[in-house]
A = this chain, B = another copy of it.
């Protein structure tokens, strides 16, 4: 599954499209490509309709409106963040699922924010104008931040919309994205996790597949269901083999135009370090979960995220460790560099870009170990760190603040910071103790920060004392401290705040260092992008930025080791697969599905594959046909799609979706959710 988890990475760049490759900007759709390859010419209205029917889940995924009353469909594993936070030992929404028979039964999520893209404005000139020739990287980075914070604030004040300046083509362009926000979001329907994630980790990123990975929410405004003009009409027939289909969603991050040395850094350092961390946390949470059902419930979402990231990165790393893949990247880079070097003007303007990237990557590599070591994962610690930083940042003028504390961003930050989501002492202690132990391993037990943060105690003792002693579990206390400014933070003796105060100065230095390295990379990649624009023709798209993109594809099977893999699965296949595994986890069907078998049309399409270009963050994206109708919902790629991070290839790589027919049939006959069905089909 492709829920997007933010990780350390840097490059976005202009990309030439091959095959069905492309994560296209809505203000720059691939008209030529669509016309030539598919004979399709999207109208302005068609595009606007898709854009405004698309929903971004700020917890890390995508979705879409599917009724005029604010009904939204997304993946179960995107909705999981909400399901986890509203669950209790008595009512486990993750395990048991949920169906609101009427609107008054719908359950409010605690801290979910949804965004709908209303407009895009090109602000490149103003952003670029702020950076003066002769500025060093630090100065350039600060000047850019200042103008971006200012643009966002002005836009927010003028429109009342969430306003984000997005860096595209790695700094060649800056677009201002304005979003309508929904923060009153309620759960309407979720299936049991055992059918939503049928096949578990073994089937994750695999195909053929049999998952009902969907959840329905409803957006509310002023206590009433939101009135939605642009929503997707449900296609009863759904997608079928050979159809042209579009995916509209929020791919998180790709690294396709990274230089070879940049990818080698991923291969040799960053991805192995990430994987070590993911495996470590997976083992930690897995063993915690095995101790009791209640533990399993508490850790479910976190454990899923680590397992999912681990499997994704194993696939990405495997691609980078394949000399054939690297050879393609090397040849591509050589072609471009040769063209630059052969042209005197280009050589003068762009020739030094690759060495600049190399130097910046070396700089970045030099702090990787420390950045990993000081990147703590517990919720209480990160709450404390945010509060400590907020005290510092809010003293400054808006233009000088870290982006997440800018005026335009504060409301969303507070939504997260003062969330009523439950905090579990035992889990927090486990995670923090492991983080402190990891820090000790990576930096050495005698490192000054390690000594100060553990205070002469063992990691377990130090973590236990901080978690037991902190009052940050109390939202009122958290708010009081957060809104109390620097004076309140300085005066606080809360042990978790004390811990954050120890680490914050060094984390701030590392952040500044990363920002400066990022600026150098931006400038160098900007040159590479321009060199590419000048040496290649055709339409281009920028690397993914967790902003709305359109991707194009065809419903299509593939051939794997001489065997034809069909483009879609059905319910019969689901029951067969469960039976093959004696209905044992993770291949166990919930009781609702065992009971419903006789009532179902077993030939109903369930999951299907298409060649659409996606990446983590696209989870929950609607799949739509030429008529803009909802024909399915993306929830995964197959294993061959994992290297799409840096190299698209649709010979075997596919996006995997739940079919619109399968969803309806399940709602009707497994769950008796007539109210949802009626709303979707009226």
The chain B residue with its CB closest to the CB of A455 is B323
**In the complex, A268 has a CB within 8 A of chain B:** yes
**In the complex, A292 has a CB within 8 A of chain B:** yes
Cβ–Cβ contact A291 & B202, under 8 A: yes
**In the complex, A272 has a CB within 8 A of chain B:** yes
Cβ–Cβ contact B459 & A287, under 8 A: no
**In the complex, A283 has a CB within 8 A of chain B:** yes
Cβ–Cβ contact A290 & B202, under 8 A: yes
The chain B residue with its CB closest to the CB of A441 is B272
Interface residues of A in 308-335 (CB under 8 A from B): 310-311, 317-318, 321-324, 326
Cβ–Cβ contact B200 & A290, under 8 A: yes
**In the complex, A293 has a CB within 8 A of chain B:** yes
A287–chain B nearest beta-carbon distance, Å: 6
**In the complex, A379 has a CB within 8 A of chain B:** no
Residues of B near A291 (CB, < 8 A) are 202
**In the complex, A586 has a CB within 8 A of chain B:** yes
Interface residues of A in 257-306 (CB under 8 A from B): 264, 267-268, 272, 276, 279-280, 282-283, 286-287, 290-293
Cβ–Cβ contact B293 & A437, under 8 A: no
**In the complex, A581 has a CB within 8 A of chain B:** yes
Total residues of chain A contacting the partner, CB 8 A: 43
**In the complex, A440 has a CB within 8 A of chain B:** yes
**In the complex, A444 has a CB within 8 A of chain B:** yes
Cβ–Cβ contact B458 & A324, under 8 A: yes
The chain B residue with its CB closest to the CB of A282 is B283
Q: Which of B201, B310, B321, B581 contacts A292 (CB 8 A)?
A: B581
A421-465 vs B, CB cutoff 8 Å, 1 = contact: the mask equals: 000000000000000010011001100000000101111110000
Residues of B near A286 (CB, < 8 A) are 286
What 5 A-B pairs are tightest by C-beta distance, nearest first? A322-B458, A202-B291, A272-B441, A279-B283, A279-B279
Query: How long is the Cα–Cα vector from A444 to B321 in the complex, in angstroms?
Result: 10
Cβ–Cβ contact B437 & A317, under 8 A: yes
Residues of B near A460 (CB, < 8 A) are 318
Residues of B near A437 (CB, < 8 A) are 317-318, 321
Query: How long is the Cα–Cα vector from A457 to B268 in the complex, in angstroms?
Result: 17
Select the residue from A286, A290, A293 with max chain B CB neighbours within 10 A. Answer: A290
Residues of B near A595 (CB, < 8 A) are none
Select the residue from A200, A445, A581 with max chain B CB neighbours within 10 A. Answer: A445
Q: Which of B283, B290, B317, B586 contacts A283 (CB 8 A)?
A: B283
**In the complex, A121 has a CB within 8 A of chain B:** no
Residues of B near A457 (CB, < 8 A) are 322-323
Query: How long is the Cα–Cα vector from A201 to B287 in the complex, in angstroms?
Result: 7
Cβ–Cβ contact B293 & A581, under 8 A: yes
The chain B residue with its CB closest to the CB of A461 is B322
Given contacts A200-B290, A317-B441, 18 further A-B contacts (CB under 8 A): A201-B287, A202-B290, A268-B444, A276-B276, A279-B280, A279-B283, A283-B310, A293-B584, A317-B437, A318-B458, A321-B440, A321-B445, A321-B458, A321-B459, A322-B461, A323-B445, A324-B458, A326-B445
A393–chain B nearest beta-carbon distance, Å: 34
Q: How many copies does the complex hold?
A: 2
Query: How long is the Cα–Cα vector from A584 to B460 in the complex, in angstroms?
Result: 29
Select the residue from A200, A267, A279 with max chain B CB neighbours within 10 A. Answer: A279
Cβ–Cβ contact A293 & B582, under 8 A: yes
7 A–B contacts, CB within 8 A, in A order = A202-B287, A202-B290, A268-B444, A279-B283, A318-B458, A323-B458, A324-B458
Given contacts A318-B437, A318-B459, contact A445 B290 (CB under 8 A): no
A543–chain B nearest beta-carbon distance, Å: 24
A570–chain B nearest beta-carbon distance, Å: 22
Query: How long is the Cα–Cα vector from A544 to B89 in the complex, in angstroms?
Result: 47
Query: How long is the Cα–Cα vector from A582 to B296 in the complex, in angstroms?
Result: 14
Residues of B near A279 (CB, < 8 A) are 279-280, 283
Query: How long is the Cα–Cα vector from A457 to B326 in the complex, in angstroms?
Result: 11
Query: How long is the Cα–Cα vector from A276 to B280 in the complex, in angstroms?
Result: 8
A441–chain B nearest beta-carbon distance, Å: 4
Query: How long is the Cα–Cα vector from A407 to B317 in the complex, in angstroms?
Result: 45
A203-234 vs B, CB cutoff 8 Å, 1 = contact: the mask equals: 00000000000000000000000000000000
Residues of B near A321 (CB, < 8 A) are 437, 440, 445, 458-459
Cβ–Cβ contact B201 & A290, under 8 A: yes
Residues of B near A268 (CB, < 8 A) are 441, 444-445
Query: How long is the Cα–Cα vector from A459 to B315 in the complex, in angstroms?
Result: 12
Query: How long is the Cα–Cα vector from A276 to B283 in the complex, in angstroms?
Result: 11
A320–chain B nearest beta-carbon distance, Å: 8
Query: How long is the Cα–Cα vector from A291 to B586 in the complex, in angstroms?
Result: 8
Query: How long is the Cα–Cα vector from A293 to B587 in the complex, in angstroms?
Result: 11
A447–chain B nearest beta-carbon distance, Å: 10
A291–chain B nearest beta-carbon distance, Å: 4
Residues of B near A280 (CB, < 8 A) are 276, 279
Residues of B near A322 (CB, < 8 A) are 457-458, 461
Given contacts A268-B445, A437-B321, contact A586 B201 (CB under 8 A): no
Residues of B near A267 (CB, < 8 A) are 445
Residues of B near A264 (CB, < 8 A) are 445
A258–chain B nearest beta-carbon distance, Å: 16
The chain B residue with its CB closest to the CB of A433 is B318
Residues of B near A200 (CB, < 8 A) are 290
Residues of B near A292 (CB, < 8 A) are 581
